[in-house]
Amino acid sequence: MVKLLETDVTTDEVKNWHGINILHFQGSSCSQKLRIFLNEKKIDWKSYHIDLVKGDNFTKWFLGINPRGVVPVLVDNGEVYIESNDIIQHLDKKFQSNFLWPENLNEKIKEFLEEENEIHFDLRNLTMKFVAPTFLMKKKDKDIKNFESASNFVEGLEDKEKNMQLEYHKNFIENNGVTEESVLNSINVFKKKLTKIDKKLSENKFIISEHITIVDIAWFVYLRRLETVGFSFKKNYPNLYKWFEELKKNKNFLKETSLPIPLKIISSIYKIYLNLTNQSLRTFLNKK
Ligand SMILES: N[C@@H](CCC(=O)N[C@@H](CS)C(=O)NCC(=O)O)C(=O)O
């Protein structure tokens, strides 16, 4: 559970915030997972929108709340929690109704969510390559400098995770996007995972149980993103496809994972460019 120490948090005003406060971004997959969860649990929460495209996450104010420079963040009555899965586990325990992280499935849930977290950079690779143009996704020099020079303590210790984030963005700038090798690798990672989840869904109604859990929410969000990237599921993953289409009927699930209209337009134009320049997802799938 990543709960920050009072000394990690240098933006003091949040220490006086009451209730459940969520710092999040509309298009962030981890934020989408958390918002679907909050709405399904009917938890009352206050929204602080952090625009990742504008670089709000690299301001002194935000880095004083989360030194890792990522969303989502929970400020629960002045206490700061980071890491989407830890936030969800904390809130599922705190709000004792409609459990989405049931105690009896704790070990399984942890196993699946750790796997989901491990492939987060793969999802980011595919998003950065196929959803939005490189120039829009590149971080600005001044933001990188702010991030580099900000304090780097999580739970009182020097934090490695910040360096991984920093390295990701620096490599993206240096390589002018995601390298072909990384794209192919990330596609392969997802193909394997989709096969695994499809098999699970041939055994149960939901991924790990007959009832919906946070694992379904997490994978629903990933699938929505992969759908935007250009993947289709009907032919190769029939159980997954059926489960996905069924969950789409839930308005909360659908709304929280929809692309903002301006990004939808940009993304469609960008896809035409990728097609014309032989860089579409299909081209990469054919290389395997
Ligand atoms: N393991 C973290 C990952 C958080 C993360 O990487 N968030 C992304 C959005 S989904 C982010 O804030 N990226 C910042 C950026 O790209 O500038 C969690 O689960 O909360």
Atom number, ligand 1, closest to the C-alpha of residue 58:
17
pLDDT tens figures, 252-276: 999 999 988 888 999 999 999 999 9
CB 88 within 8 A of CB 37: yes
DSSP state for residue 256 in the 8-state scheme: H
Q: Which amino acid is at 44?
A: D
Percentage, residues of the chain above pLDDT 70:
100
What is the token pair recorded at 254? 């659908």
Residue intervals of the chain classified under CATH 1.20.1050.10 are 108-138+177-287
Residue intervals of the chain classified under CATH 3.40.30.10 are 12-106
Answer yes or no: is the C-beta of 70 below 6 A from any ligand 1 atom: yes
What Cα–Cα distance (Å) separates residue 34 from each residue in 45, 87, 136, 180? Answer: 11, 8, 25, 31
User: Which of 52, 51, 54, 20 lies closest to 37 in space, CA to CA?
Assistant: 20
Q: How far apart are CA 66 and CA 83, in angstroms?
A: 10
Using the mean position of ligand 1's atoms as its centre, give its distance from the Cα of residue 141 in Å. 19
Answer yes or no: is the C-beta of 29 below 6 A from any ligand 1 atom: yes
pTM: 0.96
Q: Indicate if the pLDDT at residue 239 is higher than 80.
A: yes
Q: How far apart are CA 78 and CA 13, in angstroms?
A: 9
What Cα–Cα distance (Å) separates residue 65 from each residue in 57, 79, 88, 111? Answer: 10, 10, 18, 28
Q: How far apart are CA 120 and CA 29, in angstroms?
A: 9
Q: How far apart are CA 275 and CA 230, in angstroms?
A: 12
The arrangement of secondary structure in 12-106, i.e. its CATH architecture, is 3-Layer(aba) Sandwich (3.40)
Whole-number pLDDT of residue 288: 58
CB 221 within 8 A of CB 123: no
Atom number, ligand 1, closest to the C-alpha of residue 25:
9
What's the average model confidence in pLDDT over 177-183?
Answer: 96
Q: Which residues does 221 contact at the CB level (< 8 Å), separation at least 6?
A: 29, 32, 33, 36, 257
CB 130 within 8 A of CB 230: yes
Whole-number pLDDT of residue 286: 84
CA diameter of the chain: 54
CATH number of 108-138+177-287: 1.20.1050.10
Question: What is the rounded end-to-end Cα distance, in angstroms, of the chain?
Answer: 39
Answer yes or no: is the C-beta of 117 below 6 A from any ligand 1 atom: yes
What's the average model confidence in pLDDT over 149-165?
Answer: 90
Q: Are strands 20-24 and 46-49 parallel, antiparallel or unpaired?
A: parallel
Ligand 1 binding pocket mutation candidate from 22, 70, 161, 178 (most atoms within 8 A of CB): 70
Pick the residue whose CA is nearest to atom 13 on ligand 1. Answer: 70
Using the mean position of ligand 1's atoms as its centre, give its distance from the Cα of residue 82 in Å. 10
Atom number, ligand 1, closest to the C-alpha of residue 31:
10
What's the average model confidence in pLDDT over 76-87?
Answer: 97
